[in-house]
Amino acid sequence: MENFKIEIDADGIAVVAFDVPNRSMNTLTGAVIKEIPLLVEKIQSDDAIKGVVLTSGKATGFCAGADLADMASGMLSGAGDLQAAYDAGWALNGAFRQLETCGKPVAAAINGLALGGGLEFTLACHYRVVENNPKIQLGLPEIKVGLFPGGGGTQRLTRLIGVQTALMQMAEAKSWRPNDAKSAGVVHEVVEIGQSVEAAKAWIKNGGKAVQPWDEPKFKIPGGGPYHPMGAQVFIMGNAILRKQSYGNYPAVLNMMKAVYEGIQVPIEAGLRIETRYFIKTLMTPQAQAMIRSLFLSKQELDKGAVRPAGIPKSDPKKVTVIGAGMMGAGIAYVQAMAGIETILIDQTQEAADKGKQYAVDLVQKRVSRGHMTQDKADGILSLITPTTDYDQIKGSDLVIEAVFENREIKATVTKNAEAQLAKGAIFGSNTSTLPITGLAEASVRPEDFIGIHFFSPVDKMMLVEIIMAEKTSDEALAKALDYVLKIKKTPIVVNDSRGFYTSRCFSTYLMEGMALLEEGFSPVAIDNIGRSTGMPRGPLEMHDDVALDLSYKIAKQTREDLGDAYVPSAGEGIVATMVEGGRYGRKNGKGFYDYDQKPKVIWPGLAELAPTTKGDIFGESPEAFAAMDEMKTRLLYRQAVEVARCWAEGVIDDPREGDLGAILGWGFAPWTGGPITFIDQIGVAKFVETADRLVAAYGPRFEVPQLLRDMAAKGETFYGKFSKAA
């Protein structure tokens, strides 16, 4: 076997090291799945083996889960042959079932993270020991890519910890830390680092049983099954809760619940076959295939530097200066320090700079208090951040990132002051979210080293960084910017210059369409509820509050100054201006479209005067109500997708992977679609154009598609078919 190495000790205990060759992390590849039955046969047939300890041969982790590219291609290769797809899907479940019924005790010594299929591998063992390492996570995150656990997770986890806890854990894709996993009943024992194998051996030597609890004759599901009073309540409430969370956009959520509901009423092996059936059904949905491509395959490629210019030596930024210690700059400083980068954090006053560092102090101490980091490690990280007002400390920086106010004059002054301290070869990055980089680069004496590096707030949680190329930005500067983003463990996309670039420009259309609906007389509650039902993380009005109304106001003011007579006011601009001038800035000061001084938040009563509701309550069960809601959904999604198509036609984006992943990670475009490019492709370009033309006739030219889409529609083309840059 290539993926499993066996050593049998004097007690007859076989230590099986799971070690996929030529990979930094173990995954369940097709080859691994084929070898598990061979491993089981060896365990059963070798009389010298009295018990087994399964562990990882890698320091990076136990197993990160299934290799989705390998697995999905195998299950979908039957071109519509359901039996072939089922057989491919059952291969993993069948292999794990063979392991847990091999007749000899099998213990998992979990010495690194175990996610997805990796955790399911350990659940097929009779005993689980995990090392008390704060880096270790145990969980089933498949729902994040449009799937659900298909290696026995829906059956074993529910039988282990009960239906309610298991369903919520799988639906929310949360992970356990070692001690939390023990408290939940997922693992049996937590030991110190390096002691898991010995602890697993001790369990075997002390008479560990080679039978799973669910194979015992008198086994009962914790909390009861669907016909138990408590169990029935779980399914009744669970169905409502999951529907509320998913709005019916994710087949995986419903199919997961069906697999659990049906599977726990039958013996485990029948339950596993039920799980496989629903897993294959889910895998074949357009939502799952779209999410796997964008959120797994494309993300992996971009995280490995797929768009980095070829032939340029790799750089490793050691010192980076951040100018502006507000929320954005403070967040950038934190993620840099976490990546081991010496960070100079500059602001106009020492008090402001110190406040910026305090943001990192608070986040690091929270990790320490939760046991996810030692105090020594925290102190080391914080020592990397130097808050100051002194521009001389920029000297020696490989990169400077300005994160000051969205004002062209202020940014120009910062650029000149910083560049005076930079050595040749260092680059300057602007974190602006809207101002064109080419215009900002006019203040630079070295525009070839000037680039846009757009973070998203909060920086510590948002995984995307949008890199913007100005007219004179060099490939060398791009390569260095990408090396920096990858070092701080963010996902980069590269776009060309445009007002608002890609993400801010397209995201703003969601907010503006919400404002258009408000001006038309739809109720604020209806607008936000419909917005969430499209799959967007929040409604357009509440998201506008999150972004900050005064920021929209300032951006509109700057854009009006830049464009002059060519400026066209956006929908609801007057409403926002009146609110901001009246002191309503959004969530940050507790006053926006909503009042936040009470929980739950409520619509600001004064909004009714600025935007009276004339459409009435569109919610109901009449055909007219359903049609109105569908139309609102269509408008909110199509308006964003049309702007994405325009960005493509204008050359702002040119890679489907970056367009889709940037939209999902950057502004939360409905993940179930796989992103706006996939959304257009799956609808069909011709059908998309037809619907957009109808929207133009009904609501105006903001839905007008570029000629590119009409040409593609005439030829029956798709974005991924015509423009794919995947390897």
Q: Count how many residues are written for the chain.
A: 727
Compute the half-sphere exposure of residue 627: CA atoms within 13 Å on the CB side of its CA. 3
In terms of Cα–Cα distance, which of 401, 405, 391, 469 is closest to 430? Answer: 401
Preceding amide of 458 cis, omega within 30: yes
CA dist 494 and 478 (Å) reads 9
CA dist 692 and 698 (Å) reads 10
Apex CA 389: angle with CA 385 and CA 395, to 5°? 70
In terms of Cα–Cα distance, which of 290, 405, 312 is closest to 676? Answer: 290
In 306-355, which ranges are E strands? 319-323, 342-346
User: What tokens appear for 473 in the block?
Assistant: 């930005």
Adjacent-strand bridge partners of 139? 115, 175
Strands 13-18 and 4-8: what pairing?
antiparallel
User: What tokens appear for 469 in the block?
Assistant: 């190329």
- Tell me the C-alpha to C-alpha distance, in Å, between residue 187 and each of 15, 109, 120, 164: 19, 10, 12, 18
466 catalytic per annotation: yes
CA dist 34 and 19 (Å) reads 14
DSSP state of 346: E
CA dist 637 and 513 (Å) reads 9
CA dist 305 and 483 (Å) reads 8
**Number of CB atoms found within 10 A of residue 5's CB:** 12
Apex CA 646: angle with CA 643 and CA 652, to 5°? 105
* Secondary structure element (H or E) that encloses residue 400, with its range: strand 399-402
Which is the catalytic residue, given 100, 402, 466, 542?
Answer: 466
- Tell me the C-alpha to C-alpha distance, in Å, between residue 18 and each of 53, 62, 131, 270, 669: 10, 8, 16, 28, 38
CA dist 153 and 160 (Å) reads 10
User: What tokens appear for 618 in the block?
Assistant: 């569109």
Q: Which residue has the tokens 């309503």?
A: 584
DSSP state of 56: E
In 589-656, which ranges are E strands? 594-595, 602-603
> What is the largest distance, in Å, between two alpha-carbon atoms of the chain?
87
CA dist 670 and 679 (Å) reads 9
CA dist 282 and 258 (Å) reads 11
The string of DSSP codes covering 542-584 is HHHHHH-HHHHHHHHHHHHHHHGGG--PPTTHHHHHHHHHTT-
- Tell me the C-alpha to C-alpha distance, in Å, between residue 380 and each of 35, 133, 174, 340, 662: 44, 19, 29, 9, 33
Residues 321, 393 contacting (CB under 8 angstroms): yes
Q: Which residues are catalytic?
A: 466
